[in-house]
């Protein structure tokens, strides 16, 4: 282009006004819209929240069936950014309905939703308004009388930096103690220790196959014949009971082998006649119908 009498506009001429940062009112309006969505819809399936509703360690709400489907499909950790890895990482939140399809605080009667501070208690899951939590602060839930600690009060869908930081610290502290968000033990925490303990201490009345017995094994009359079985030669089995059982099995195998060799059905497959007497019906099935001519004779 060019040489046509026109001009090339500059950016200053095209952009009359610079981009403006959103005002405080606009930011507040956007935040309220996000809060309304989070209090109303499941963040994964985008379906309306309906009981039973669960919450994770960050205070985010889900439909319980959504978490179950993610866990079965192996997608829970990915979809929740590593917050939920098992059903123990969520707590069922017990909201009190207000009669209009919403939720309310059982203490103050205030509506729970966007624009209000609310929290739930772990592990019982009862939800209250922020004001009620401060007024009835204690060690027992006013609804079920269940015990709880102050750090186990989880704000619901809070965006305050202080709440976000506290919940992150709580998650790490529980992880260091081998606990999940619901205060239950993480799966697989104690299994290796129990297995090691069982291997180190065998059950009473049994001996290892590789350890020498302290005293000869006593047997009753029913097992006297077994004890007389010939032990396996050059055996490395030191346990008397194990060696006797092994000798008995080997002896039974030898008897069965000899029995198979003496079977007439097996012996009939082989011919014991002299190779020169192949004549007519007296020959076996391999040479029947053929004769071996004498030396220098014609066929």
Per-residue pLDDT of the chain (299 residues; tens, 9 = 90+): 555 667 787 877 777 776 778 888 888 888 889 999 999 999 999 999 999 999 999 999 999 999 999 999 999 999 999 999 999 999 999 999 998 889 999 999 999 999 899 999 999 999 999 999 888 867 899 999 999 999 999 999 998 999 999 999 999 999 999 999 999 999 865 444 444 444 444 444 444 444 444 444 444 444 444 444 444 444 455 667 667 767 777 787 788 777 776 665 555 655 555 444 444 455 455 555 555 555 555 44
Last residue of a domain, one of 176, 191, 215: 176
* 156 contacts 55 by C-beta, under 8 angstroms: yes
39-73 b/e with 16+ CB inside 10 Å = b? beebebeeeebeeebbbbbbbbbbbbebbeebbee
- Residue 162 located in a structural domain: yes
Do residue 37 and residue 156 come from a single domain? yes
The span from the CA of 113 to the CA of 172, in Å, is: 28
Tokens 């079920």: give the residue. Answer: 144
* 164 contacts 158 by C-beta, under 8 angstroms: yes
Nearest to 93 by CA among 131, 49, 132, 27: 49
Instruction: Give the per-residue pLDDT at 270.
Output: 55
- Residue 4 located in a structural domain: no
Our count of domains for the chain comes to: 2
Do residue 140 and residue 262 come from a single domain? no
Do residue 112 and residue 236 come from a single domain? no
- Residue 229 located in a structural domain: yes
Q: How many CA atoms lie within 13 Å of 181's alpha carbon, on the beta-carbon side? A: 26
- Residue 148 located in a structural domain: yes
Instruction: Give the per-residue pLDDT at 212.
Output: 46
Do residue 245 and residue 168 come from a single domain? no
- Residue 202 located in a structural domain: no
Do residue 137 and residue 246 come from a single domain? no
Do residue 146 and residue 242 come from a single domain? no
CATH of the domain at 148: 3.30.40.10
Tokens encoding 221: 């009359």
What domain range includes position 65? 26-176
The span from the CA of 133 to the CA of 131, in Å, is: 5
* 46 contacts 37 by C-beta, under 8 angstroms: no
- Residue 207 located in a structural domain: no
- Residue 14 located in a structural domain: no
Nearest to 51 by CA among 41, 64, 42: 64
Do residue 137 and residue 252 come from a single domain? no
Instruction: Give the per-residue pLDDT at 242.
Output: 67
Instruction: Give the per-residue pLDDT at 115.
Output: 86
Number of Cβ atoms within 10 Å of the Cβ of 244: 21
Please state the pTM of the whole predicted model. 0.58
Strands 118-121 and 111-112: unpaired
Do residue 37 and residue 167 come from a single domain? yes
Do residue 161 and residue 232 come from a single domain? no
Do residue 238 and residue 155 come from a single domain? no
Do residue 98 and residue 166 come from a single domain? yes
Do residue 42 and residue 103 come from a single domain? yes
- CA distance from start to end of the chain: 110
- Residue 79 located in a structural domain: yes
Instruction: Give the per-residue pLDDT at 224.
Output: 45
Helices (H) and strands (E) in the chain, counts: 10, 9
Distances (CA, A) of 51 to 54, 83, 93, 95, 166: 9, 21, 9, 9, 27
- Residue 251 neighbours by CB under 8 Å, 6+ apart: 229, 230
Instruction: Give the per-residue pLDDT at 149.
Output: 92
């Amino acid at each position: 282009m060019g040489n046509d009498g026109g001009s090339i506009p500059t950016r200053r001429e095209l952009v009359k006004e610079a981009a403006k940062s959103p005002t405080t009112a606009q930011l507040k309006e956007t935040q309220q819209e996000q809060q309304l969505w989070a209090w109303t819809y499941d963040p994964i399936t985008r379906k309306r929240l309906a009981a039973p509703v669960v919450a994770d360690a960050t205070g985010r709400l889900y439909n319980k069936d959504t978490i179950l489907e993610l866990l079965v499909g192996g997608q829970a950790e990915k979809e929740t950014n590593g917050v939920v890895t098992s059903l123990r990482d969520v707590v069922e939140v017990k909201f009190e309905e207000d009669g209009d399809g919403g939720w309310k605080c059982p203490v103050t009667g205030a509506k729970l939703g966007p624009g209000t501070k609310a929290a739930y208690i772990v592990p019982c899951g009862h939800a209250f308004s922020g004001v009620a939590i401060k007024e009835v602060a204690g060690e027992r839930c006013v609804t079920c009388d269940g015990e709880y600690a102050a750090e186990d009060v989880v704000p619901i869908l809070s965006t305050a930096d202080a709440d976000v930081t506290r919940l992150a610290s709580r998650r790490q502290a529980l992880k260091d103690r081998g606990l999940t968000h619901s205060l239950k033990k993480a799966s697989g925490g104690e299994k290796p220790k129990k297995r090691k303990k069982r291997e180190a201490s065998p059950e009473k009345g049994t001996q290892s196959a590789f350890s020498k017995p302290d005293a000869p094994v006593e047997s009753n009359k029913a097992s006297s014949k077994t004890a007389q079985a010939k032990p396996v030669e050059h055996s490395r089995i030191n346990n008397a009971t194990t060696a006797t059982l092994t000798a008995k099995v080997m002896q039974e195998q030898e008897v069965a082998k000899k029995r198979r060799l003496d079977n007439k059905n097996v012996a009939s497959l082989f011919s014991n006649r002299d190779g020169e007497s192949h004549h007519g019906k007296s020959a076996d099935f391999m040479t029947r119908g053929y004769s071996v001519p004498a030396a220098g004779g014609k066929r």
